[in-house]
Amino acid sequence: MSGIRHFLDLDTIQSGELRRILDLGHRYKRPAPRRPSARQLKPLAGKTLAMVFERPSTRTRVSFEVAMKQLGGDVVILTSQDTQLGRGETIADTARVLSRYVDAIMLRCTDQAKLDEMARHATVPVINGLTDLSHPCQVMADLMTLEERKGPAESQIVAWSGDGNNVANSWVHAAVQFGFELRIATPEALRPPVRLMEWAKRHSRRIRFLTDPEAAVKGADCVATDTWVSMGNDTGNRHNLLAPYQVTERLMSLAAPDAIFMHCLPAKRGEEVTAAVIDGPQSAAWDEAENRLHAQKAILDWCLT
pLDDT surpassing 70 at residue 255: yes
Q: Do residues 80 and 30 share a domain?
A: yes
CB under 8 Å, gap of 24 or more: what pairs does 148-151 form?
148/26, 148/287, 148/291, 149/222, 149/260, 149/284, 149/287, 150/221, 150/222, 150/258, 150/260
Is 179 within the bounds of a domain?
A: yes
Q: How confident is the model at residue 230 (pLDDT cuts 50, 70, 90)?
A: confident
Can you give the pLDDT at residue 249?
Answer: 98
pLDDT surpassing 90 at residue 3: no
In whole angstroms, what is the distance from residue 223 CA to residue 160 CA? 6
Q: Which residue has the higher pLDDT, 81 or 187?
A: 187
CATH of residue 54's domain is: 3.40.50.1370
User: pLDDT digits over 36-90, tens only?
Assistant: 655 567 999 999 999 999 988 999 999 999 999 999 999 999 987 777 776 778 9
- In the annotation, is 135 catalytic? yes
- In the annotation, is 239 catalytic? no
pLDDT surpassing 70 at residue 206: yes
Q: Do residues 261 and 188 share a domain?
A: yes
Instruction: Check: CB of residue 274 under 8 Å from CB of residue 127.
Output: no
Instruction: Check: CB of residue 261 under 8 Å from CB of residue 159.
Output: no
Q: Do residues 296 and 285 share a domain?
A: no
In whole angstroms, what is the distance from residue 103 CA to residue 275 CA? 42
Q: Do residues 157 and 277 share a domain?
A: yes
**Annotated catalytic residue, options 6, 55, 108, 149:** 108
Question: How is the beta sheet containing 207-210 ordered, strand by strand?
Answer: 207-210, 181-185, 157-161, 222-225, 260-263
- In the annotation, is 108 catalytic? yes
For the chain, the domain total comes to: 2
pLDDT surpassing 60 at residue 178: yes
Q: Do residues 234 and 141 share a domain?
A: yes
Can you give the pLDDT at residue 266?
Answer: 97
- The backbone region for 41, taken as left when phi is positive above 0, alpha when psi lies in -120 to 50, beta otherwise, is alpha
Domain that holds residue 300: 10-135+292-304
Can you give the pLDDT at residue 282?
Answer: 98
**Annotated catalytic residue, options 109, 121, 137, 138:** 138
Ranking 35-39, 51-55, 119-123, 282-286 by mean pLDDT, the lowest is 35-39
Can you tell me the mean pLDDT for 181-188?
A: 98
The overall average pLDDT reported for the chain is: 94
Can you give the pLDDT at residue 49?
Answer: 98
- In the annotation, is 264 catalytic? yes
Can you give the pLDDT at residue 1?
Answer: 46
pLDDT surpassing 80 at residue 183: yes
Ranking 47-61, 170-184, 220-234, 259-273 by mean pLDDT, the lowest is 220-234
Candidates 106, 100, 170, 165; CA nearest to 135 is 170
Q: How confident is the model at residue 147 (pLDDT cuts 50, 70, 90)?
A: very high
**Annotated catalytic residue, options 264, 282, 301, 303:** 264
Is 1 within the bounds of a domain?
A: no
Q: Do residues 148 and 278 share a domain?
A: yes
Is 2 within the bounds of a domain?
A: no
Is 5 within the bounds of a domain?
A: no
- Global pTM? 0.95
pLDDT surpassing 70 at residue 181: yes
Burial of 48 (0-12, 13-18, 19+ CB in 10 A): middle
In whole angstroms, what is the distance from residue 147 CA to residue 132 CA? 26
**Annotated catalytic residue, options 135, 149, 183, 191:** 135
Q: Do residues 190 and 108 share a domain?
A: no
Is 202 within the bounds of a domain?
A: yes
